Amino acid sequence: MRIFAFAASLRSASLNQKLIQLASRLAAQFGAEIDLARFHEFDMPLYDGDEDLAHGLPEGARRLKQRIEGAAALMIAVPEYNYSIPGTLKNAIDWVSRARPMPWRGRAVYLLSTAPSPVGGIRGLWQTRIPLEGCGAIVFPDMFALPHGNTAFDERGMLREAASFERLVREVRGFVRFAEAVEPLCCSPPPEADAKRRAQEIAAALEDESELQPGTAQT
Residue 141, preceding peptide bond in cis (omega within 30° of 0): no
* DSSP at 160: S
Which residue in 137, 140, 139, 48 sits closest to 98, CA to CA? 48
Q: Distance between CA 39 and CA 50 in Å, rounded?
A: 25
Cα dihedral across residues 172, 173, 179, 182: positive or negative:
negative
Residue 112 burial by CB count (10 A; 0-12/13-18/19+): exposed, middle or buried? Answer: buried
Q: Nearest-5° angle of CA 13, CA 170, CA 106?
A: 80
Q: Which long-range contacts (CB under 8 A, 24 or more apart) does 126-132 make?
A: 127/83, 127/84, 127/85, 128/76, 128/78, 128/85, 128/89, 131/85, 131/90, 131/93, 131/94, 131/97, 132/93, 132/104
Region of poorest pLDDT, from 36-45, 112-121, 143-152, 190-199: 190-199
CA trace torsion 12, 79, 114, 174 (10° rounding):
-110
Beta strands 144-146 and 2-7 are unpaired
pLDDT at position 218 over 60:
no
Residues 30, 1 contacting (CB under 8 angstroms)? no
Spell out the domain ranges in the chain. 2-188
Over residues 5-35, the pLDDT tens digits come to 999 999 999 999 999 999 999 999 999 999 9
Name residues whose C-beta falls within 8 Å of residue 82's C-beta, 6 or more positions apart in sequence. none
CATH 3.40.50.880 is held by the domain 2-188: no
**Can you count the helices (H) and strands (E) in the chain?**
8, 6
pLDDT value at residue 178: 97
Residue 187: predicted pLDDT: 79
pLDDT at 55: 96
pLDDT at 100 over 90: yes
Mean pLDDT of 188-203: 64
**29-76, pLDDT tens digit by residue?**
999 999 999 999 999 999 999 999 999 999 999 999 999 999 999 999
